[in-house]
A and B are shown apart, each in its own frame.
Chain A
């Protein structure tokens, strides 16, 4: 079975907004509101930035937001900053493949 599908790359200029998609199935993303997103900088452990589709943990800037429509979840980063350059992974409860393949976000 395939992992959740994410675009391999995304980019934007400082101050712009970027949206990263995560496409699953009716058994995972479409079935549950348990989608989470993780940010990973090179050589570092992943960090939870969104859970339960839309909720930000304490300390995560409100520039990060999540949403879901049908079998596709999305992460939007508004007001891009240089430190947002990282890999981003989606994750969903329900499927046999837990994580998406990851998206490398480049701040131009």
Chain B
């Protein structure tokens, strides 16, 4: 059974940093694109970033460019999101999701809450 478990969320002050992790199990992690999706309180889903199976290609939304970095460690079946220079508008539940191909997000973690506030 596919299992994705996020961790690393919490309360951080504006300008601070957090590193989110997503532990994957139950599937061959190193052949899938992986994605981070976030959801601000009471708002809709927002695609944040994704990374190629071998880690050689990544893309993110303009609002986080230069501040967030997606990475993966296939030996550890893990996905990461390094978030720097955090802003209040980054407050959201962050989900990791497996991309089954062409944005078919077929498995999701339970999410981890990031709150940016002083």
Contact = CB atoms under 8 A, between A and B. Distances in A.
Contacts of B105: 36, 38, 46, 48, 91
Interface residues of B, number: 17
Contacts of A3: 44
A102 interface: yes
A45 B108 contact: yes
A32 B102 contact: yes
Interface residues of A, number: 25
Contacts of A96: 61
Given A38-B45, A99-B46, A100-B44, A46 B103 contact: no
Contacts of A100: 44
Contact of B44 (A34, A47, A52, A101): A101
Interface in A37-65: 38, 40, 45-48, 51-52, 57
B47 interface: yes
A93 B102 contact: yes
Given A45-B95, A99-B45, A93 B103 contact: yes
Given A99-B44, A99-B47, A48 B104 contact: yes
Contacts of B111: 45
A89 B100 contact: no
B109 interface: yes
